[in-house]
Amino acid sequence: MVSVRSKEADSRTDESAHIFFDTLDAYRSVVIDRMREIVPAKGRYVSALYGPMLDYPLREGKGFRPALCLAVCEACGGALAHGLDTAVALEMFHNAFLIHDDIEDASESRRGKPTLHAQHGIAAATNVGDALNMLALQTLLGNTGLIGLERALVVIEDVSRMARESTEGQSMELGWVYEGGGKRLGLRDYLLMCYKKTTWYTCIAPMRLGAIIADVPDHRLHSFIPFGFRVGAAFQIQDDILNLVGEEQLYGKETNGDIAEGKRTLMIIHAMARSGEAVRRRLDAIYAKPRERKTASDIAAVLDAMRAAGSVDYARGIAHRLSHSARRFFDRRLHWIPAGPHRQFIEAMIDYMCARRF
């Protein structure tokens, strides 16, 4: 009986994953098609500006944020046509963030290829990111003809909060890198940074925007904040884990890049808290070094400390707790979302956050 139940559970999991990825691909296709229509394809600025705008979006990305926006919109009774430009704007904001984030982190690769600043230089890449942000805002202003002035302004207001939360969270993370070793952080610090930097623009805002476009009442919109926090924090922890143990071809960024950049992931926070004084001093010294001065032996020492402390397993446990809490919250507080393929996508997304390999 045990093996039969196990096979049935595996079958349900496989079916859920199949639905999730098929839906993700379908949404990504319509978003990319619409983005191609919006980004200028002719004129003197194409080679230096508008062409590079499409570089990251056309790489093997998931298009998760616009898909989540459109799925929630349709799940709540809205029309895909009404949500499409907002979803496209989210993808533009996301890729602008990635361009600037890669520059700030001195990252070398993105989605399996050299970063935009490595190809075109920091100044040109920064300009492309700035222009993507402006084009995203222009796209949102076009919503007035689709969903009316009032809802279009509410969408822009939510996007404004998303941008503020994300940049505040990014400033926290960059501050920890700048301060180097010696600063003691805990789980609450890490989760606050995740809440601001990751969860608002990865989960909370996309879901709220989809619901706003579908004209969901205000008293129901708030539930997407605690739900999105749980899911988005699990997403970020899994992303940090993949940076250590993921396959680079699937993951799309250089492995151990977070250590090289000096990022305070949950694993290094845990390892510093659980290690002896001598190991902590070594870790502090390594994290005080700029990226270009960290050696292969430094990276190895950090990985050894994490293994000895069981830090990856600890982080996985936190991610799973967040995912399980998100599932319970969804069932209890978002039960009003009707059953159907779009609700199934949102449910499958909860499991994907901890199970993903890329």
Residue 119, pLDDT score: 95
Kindly tell me if the per-residue pLDDT of 306 is higher than 80: yes
Query: How far apart, in Å, do the first and last CA atoms of the chain sit?
Result: 34
DSSP 22-90: HHHHHHHHHHHHHHHHHS--SSTTIIIIIHHHTHHHHSS---HHHHHHHHHHHHTT--HHHHHHHHHHH
What tens digit of pLDDT does each residue of 243-290 get? 998 654 444 556 888 999 999 999 999 999 999 999 999 999 999 999
Query: Is residue 327 domain-resident?
Result: yes
- Give residue 104's domain range: 9-355
Query: Is residue 280 domain-resident?
Result: yes
Kindly tell me if the per-residue pLDDT of 125 is higher than 80: yes
Residue 246, pLDDT score: 65
What tens digit of pLDDT does each residue of 294-304 get? 999 999 999 99
Query: Is residue 157 domain-resident?
Result: yes
Residue 341, pLDDT score: 93
Residue 181, pLDDT score: 64
The CATH number of the domain holding residue 85 is: 1.10.600.10
Percent of the chain scored above 70 by pLDDT? 92
Tell me the pLDDT band of 357, cut-offs 50, 70 and 90: low
Kindly tell me if the per-residue pLDDT of 112 is higher than 60: yes
| Mean per-residue pLDDT of the chain | 91
Residue 236: which H helix or E strand, with range? helix 224-245
Question: Collapsing DSSP states into helix, strand and coil, what is residue 44?
Answer: coil
Query: Is residue 1 domain-resident?
Result: no
Q: How far is CA 335 from CA 20, 330, 344, in A?
A: 19, 7, 12
What tens digit of pLDDT does each residue of 308-353 get? 999 999 999 999 999 999 999 999 999 999 999 999 999 999 988 8
CA separation for the pair 319, 198 (Å, rounded): 14
Residue 158: which H helix or E strand, with range? helix 149-179
Mean pLDDT for 16-39 is: 92
252: left (phi over 0), alpha (psi -120 to 50) or beta: left
Kindly tell me if the per-residue pLDDT of 1 is higher than 50: no
Residue 190, pLDDT score: 97
Query: Is residue 103 domain-resident?
Result: yes
Kindly tell me if the per-residue pLDDT of 5 is higher than 70: no
Residue 75, pLDDT score: 98
Percent of the chain scored above 90 by pLDDT? 83
Tell me the pLDDT band of 122, cut-offs 50, 70 and 90: very high
| Number of independent structural domains in the chain | 1
Mean pLDDT for 194-220 is: 97
Residue 91, pLDDT score: 97
Mean pLDDT for 54-65 is: 91
Query: Is residue 336 domain-resident?
Result: yes
Residue 14, pLDDT score: 64
Contact of 314 with 233, CB cutoff 8 Å: no
CA separation for the pair 192, 261 (Å, rounded): 20
Tell me the pLDDT band of 149, cut-offs 50, 70 and 90: very high
Mean pLDDT for 171-186 is: 86
Query: Is residue 271 domain-resident?
Result: yes
Residue 7, pLDDT score: 44
Query: Is residue 3 domain-resident?
Result: no
What tens digit of pLDDT does each residue of 209-246 get? 999 999 999 999 999 999 999 999 999 999 999 999 86
Mean pLDDT for 193-217 is: 97
